């Protein structure tokens, strides 16, 4: 039978033509062959996900942890966006692009009872994955529910299949109700994953709190603080990547290189089209869907002055010879790990004199930042080193009202007019990974082996910026690579994607 949590189909009742008679129900429920479903070996993520669960368990002894995958998100009426589970859920389960929507991971505190009659103590957690099991043929869900029915979106995997695949205990989603009813101040939830589920847990926790009223509010506030701690810890859990994660990032970067190659191969059609930026986006996205799950973020295809708009994703302009095009794109593989690469290309195949000057200054900044990366330095030092070069170059060109040394002083920072963004961010399941980590472990944190982050300096001279000569206006350049910290230094994971001006020109000529 279908779960009791089966949702009512959205916005379909006024146009449904599915027969409702008993004879039809009986007929469609009969004469189906048995499905042979050989059990898989645990997927490669499974032991890594188990180790991550053990680490988060140790940080939250005695607390019930609820990590939802999240529901499908409505795009318009009964049309959903492509489904992607919450990153924390994927990280802890190993279930990724094939996750069943609305699934929930629960880590239930395990009590260790003592024979000597002393108080029991907590001994880790039992992990259970609650998900919507397949509907039986005797239900009407599988043919009449366009939101989750098998006829509409395909079959859901069996509990035995999921348990074997993820090496994780499973339970029907309907059984989650009993877990939620036990929610209290020691129940923590990833608040951003499923708003409705979070609201429900908040209500149950508040009702379970002691009275009088002020104490109830105190209990609710305590639970909220615990939720924030859980989100923080789950983010910080991803600061150092394991071997599986690093391998997936390498795969994503290799696919991203092929996506850039595809764009270059399509250059004649791109230049010819009135909205060539859209063709760049479409060509890259085709590679992302062919070799992965999707793009890891909306592709930036910014030609000409659009390259000065840092998050230009409308991508509706022409790609004209003589201009540069800044392409910021990354393939997200099926495990949901994503690359994040930027290359700035001369549309005609050759950089102009000023274009090359700006481009090579940005590359020098990127190379200087990469050169200092090693375990033991602070993350913020990478940005500071890139900014040193940016200040030096813009001062040499006469663009600053003071010297480079003066501009680098905290009270000035004039060079930042031409690069207002940071140089680096962590990378992994999210393109801006580990976002809830504490500042002292992120920006002010010490770099460790296994960290993966970007180095992406740029220079952006707005077309109406009167502080720069006319020949600079409308030029935007960014070079972005994905960096792995090693035991002795660093590896540029995206070094195979051409990045010097000479190599880029040769790449385009090929």
222 and 353 fall within a common domain? no
Element (H, E) at 341: strand 341-346
43 neighbors 183 (Cβ within 8 angstroms): no
| Stretch among 118-127, 341-350, 442-451 having the lowest mean pLDDT | 118-127
DSSP states of 377-446: SBHHHHHHHHHHHHHHHHHHTT-SSS-HHHHTSTTT-GGGGG--S-S--B-SSSSSTTTTS-GGGTTTPB
* CATH assignment at residue 282: 3.90.230.10
- Domain membership of residue 16 (yes or no) is no
CA atoms of 264 and 180, how far apart (whole Å): 53
158 and 121 fall within a common domain? yes
379 neighbors 444 (Cβ within 8 angstroms): yes
353 and 441 fall within a common domain? yes
474 Cβ contact partners less than 8 Å away, ≥ 6 residues apart: 304, 305, 308, 461, 462, 463
- Domain limit, last residue, from 236, 255, 276: 236
Q: What is the pLDDT of residues 360-395, one digit of tens each?
A: 999 999 999 999 999 999 999 999 999 999 999 999
Q: What is the pLDDT of residues 151-194, one digit of tens each?
A: 999 999 999 999 999 999 999 999 999 999 999 989 999 999 99
Three-state DSSP at 65 gives strand
- Domain membership of residue 32 (yes or no) is yes
Q: How far does CA 503 lie from the centroid of its chain?
A: 30
158 and 267 fall within a common domain? no
Element (H, E) at 294: strand 294-295
88 and 221 fall within a common domain? yes
410 and 481 fall within a common domain? yes
pLDDT score, position 220? 52
Mean pLDDT of 488-498: 98
Domain of 103?
27-236
210 and 265 fall within a common domain? no
Mean pLDDT of 62-90: 95
- Domain limit, last residue, from 215, 236, 257: 236
CA atoms of 457 and 210, how far apart (whole Å): 53
81 and 60 fall within a common domain? yes
pLDDT score, position 142? 87
258 and 204 fall within a common domain? no
* CATH assignment at residue 49: 3.40.350.10
- Domain membership of residue 1 (yes or no) is no
237 neighbors 438 (Cβ within 8 angstroms): no
pLDDT score, position 84? 98
41 and 82 fall within a common domain? yes
- Domain limit, last residue, from 213, 236, 259: 236
2 neighbors 147 (Cβ within 8 angstroms): no
The secondary structure of residue 212, as a DSSP letter, is S
Inform me whether the pLDDT recorded for 214 exceeds 50. no
Token couple for 135: 């509907």
CA atoms of 452 and 368, how far apart (whole Å): 17
CA atoms of 361 and 493, how far apart (whole Å): 21
284 and 368 fall within a common domain? yes
Element (H, E) at 187: strand 187-189
Q: Give the mean pLDDT of the chain.
A: 93
**Percentage of the residues of the chain whose pLDDT score is greater than 70:** 94
pLDDT classification of 9: cutoffs 50, 70, 90: low
- Domain membership of residue 347 (yes or no) is yes
């Amino acid at each position: 039978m279908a779960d009791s949590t089966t949702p009512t189909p959205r916005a379909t009742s006024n146009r449904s033509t599915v027969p409702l008679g008993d004879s039809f129900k009986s007929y469609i429920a009969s004469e189906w062959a048995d499905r042979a479903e050989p059990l898989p070996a645990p997927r490669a993520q499974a032991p890594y996900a188990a180790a991550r669960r053990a680490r988060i368990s140790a940080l939250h002894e005695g607390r019930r942890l609820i990590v939802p995958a999240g529901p499908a998100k409505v795009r318009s009426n009964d049309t959903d966006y492509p489904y992607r589970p919450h990153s924390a859920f994927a990280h802890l389960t190993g279930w990724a692009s094939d996750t069943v929507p609305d699934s929930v991971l629960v880590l239930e505190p395990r009590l260790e009872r003592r024979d000597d009659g002393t108080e029991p103590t907590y001994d880790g957690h039992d992990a259970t994955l609650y998900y919507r099991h397949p509907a039986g043929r005797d239900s009407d869900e599988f043919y009449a529910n366009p939101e989750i029915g098998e006829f509409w979106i395909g079959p859901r995997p069996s509990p035995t299949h999921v348990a074997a695949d993820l090496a994780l205990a499973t339970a029907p989603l309907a059984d989650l109700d009993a877990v939620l009813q036990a929610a209290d101040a020691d129940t923590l939830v990833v608040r951003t994953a499923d708003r409705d589920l979070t609201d429900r847990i908040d209500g149950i926790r508040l009702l379970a709190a002691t009275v009088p009223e002020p104490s109830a509010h105190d209990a609710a506030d305590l639970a909220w603080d615990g939720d924030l701690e859980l989100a923080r810890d789950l983010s910080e859990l991803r600061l150092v990547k394991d071997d599986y994660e690093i391998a997936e990032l390498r795969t994503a970067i290799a696919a991203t290189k092929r996506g850039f190659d595809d764009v270059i191969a399509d250059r004649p059609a791109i230049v010819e089209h009135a909205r060539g930026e859209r063709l760049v986006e479409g060509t890259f996205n085709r590679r992302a869907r062919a070799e992965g799950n999707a793009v890891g973020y909306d592709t930036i295809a910014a030609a000409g002055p659009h390259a000065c708009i840092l998050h230009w994703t409308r991508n509706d302009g022409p790609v004209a010879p003589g201009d540069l095009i800044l392409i910021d794109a990354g393939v997200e593989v099926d495990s949901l790990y994503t690359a994040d690469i930027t290359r700035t290309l001369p549309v005609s195949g050759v950089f102009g004199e000023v274009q090359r000057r700006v481009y090579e200054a940005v590359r020098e900044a990127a190379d200087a930042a990469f050169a200092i990366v090693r375990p033991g330095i602070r993350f913020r030092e990478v940005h500071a080193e890139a900014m040193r070069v940016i200040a030096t170059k813009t001062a040499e060109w006469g663009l600053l009202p003071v010297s480079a040394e003066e501009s680098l002083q905290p009270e000035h920072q004039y060079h930042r007019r031409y690069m207002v963004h940071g140089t680096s961010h962590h990378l992994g399941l999210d393109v801006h990974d580990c976002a809830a980590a504490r500042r002292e472990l992120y920006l002010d944190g010490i770099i460790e082996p296994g960290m993966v982050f970007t180095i992406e300096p740029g220079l952006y001279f707005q077309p109406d910026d009167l502080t720069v000569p006319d020949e600079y206006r409308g030029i935007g350049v960014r070079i972005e690579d994905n960096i792995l910290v090693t035991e002795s230094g660093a590896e540029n994971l995206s070094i195979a994607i051409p990045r010097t001006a000479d190599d880029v020109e040769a790449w385009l000529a090929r």
